[in-house]
Amino acid sequence: MKFWNTLLTKLQENQKVYLLTVIENIGSSPGRQGFKMLVAEDGSIFGSVGGGIMEFNLVEEIKKLLNNKSQSIFLKRQIHKGKIKDKSGLICSGEQTIIFHPLDKNHLQVIKKIIDCLQKNQKGVLHLTPTLFEFNLGKIVTQYHYKINNSENWYYKEQIGFKDTLYLVGGGHVGLSTSKIFKLLGFHIVIFDNRQHLNTFDLNDYAHEKHIIKYQEIEKHIKQGNESYVAIMTNKYSDDKIVLSKIIKNKYKYIGVLGSKTKLQTMYEVMLKEGFTEEELKKVHSPIGLPIKSKTPDEIAVSIAAQIIKVKNS
């Protein structure tokens, strides 16, 4: 989101901008498919297509191009080893292909559509060709779809939109810290609490959605599926139990509960007596997060992030 907002600001300032997008990577290339970077007329840059001397040289090239009266769309192949044509200056092996797409105020509406899509947690497709820069709501089968016949005949489609959603149940200090780190990780963040006028909830500018709800109705607010991650961290044992009881039979990629081993053991004993099964309880990550002896809200948020990344990428 920050990338597109930065790009929007530059275009609103009537600056010319080059958008660089990695559309193909092979081997151990540092620039991965979908990586983006913008280089603006004022010399500012944002994002990355792989870093190092390669990126420095590309930026310098783009700065010169932006001084020309007109700019063109083109592809550039970067090979990260050897003394050959298209060498990048890197020695990590592999290669990548980058689209260089000039943008100006005429592209404002496209960028606004992308931002609106992200704000509403919708899905859209960015479509790039030698003559096209387009975005429309919709889905494609894979995250990226492209074909390169030659430098004049190619296309690239990318699914835009948050792939994963983190549902935080509890808007306290840990919820605030967790929201902050997961925004950096590119998750869509939805946070719930049942308390009005909670300071940490009201100050949470990292969450994309904030809702005051009744925890007895929590299952109505959390979408099931492998793109949903749920972290329970209310301010009371009884509320933790209500929330977990309501959602434990549903299908999510991840469920975690914040709390001490003693508290959670007591809660599980009660839930077993109420008819929940050992198998259901075993799928819950509790205590939440990787065991790194975290103490502060920020440290706990790091442990939660590490655990969810491990689950997501497994």
What is the domain count for the chain? 2
Other C-beta atoms closer than 10 Å to the C-beta of 228 total 21
Give the DSSP letter of residue 4. H
Q: Residue 294, Cβ neighbours under 10 Å: how many? A: 18
Cβ atoms of 99 and 21 closer than 8 Å: yes
For 11, 281, 298, the CA distances from 104, given in Å and listed in that order, are 6, 54, 40
| Phi (first) and psi of residue 114, to 5 degrees | -65, -45
219 and 252 assigned to the same domain: yes
In a shared domain, residues 99 and 189: no
- Please check whether residues 46 and 127 belong to one and the same domain: yes
Instruction: Answer left, alpha or beta for residue 119, where phi above 0 means left and psi between -120 and 50 means alpha.
Output: alpha
In this prediction the pTM is 0.76
Q: Does 297 share its domain with 281?
A: yes
Percentages helix, strand, coil for the chain, rounded to the nearest 5? 35, 30, 35
* Domain at 283, CATH number: 3.40.50.720
From 106, 140, 160, the end of a domain falls on 160
Query: What is the pLDDT at residue 209?
Result: 94
Final residue in a domain of this structure, among 124, 143, 160: 160
Q: Do 150 and 185 lie in a common domain?
A: no
277 and 133 in one domain? no
Query: Is residue 177 domain-shared with residue 141, that is, in the same domain?
Result: no
Phi, psi of 102 (to 5 degrees): -75, 135
Domain identity same for 134 and 208: no
Domain ranges, residue 63: 2-160
**Same domain, residue pair 203 and 269:** yes
pLDDT by residue for the chain (314 residues), tens digit each?
A: 889 999 999 999 999 999 999 998 887 666 688 999 999 999 999 999 887 887 888 899 999 999 888 888 998 887 755 544 444 444 445 788 999 999 999 999 999 999 999 988 899 999 999 999 999 999 998 899 999 999 889 999 999 988 899 999 999 999 999 999 999 998 999 999 999 999 999 999 999 999 999 999 999 999 999 999 999 999 999 999 999 999 999 999 999 999 999 999 999 999 999 999 999 999 999 999 999 999 999 999 999 999 999 999 98
Residues 200 and 257 in one domain: yes
Task: Specify the pLDDT at position 81.
Answer: 55
Q: Are residues 7 and 156 in the same domain?
A: yes
How is the beta sheet containing 252-257 ordered, strand by strand? 209-212, 188-193, 165-169, 225-232, 252-257
Query: Could you tell me which residues are beta bridge partners of residue 254?
Result: 229
Q: Domain boundary at 160, 187, 202, which?
A: 160
User: Over the range 261-280, which residues count as b (16 or more CB within 10 Å of their CB) and which as e?
Assistant: eebbeebbeebeeeebeeeb
- Between the alpha carbon of residue 114 and those of residues 8, 25, 236, the distances in Å are 10, 24, 39
The reply to whether 249 and 180 lie within a common domain is yes
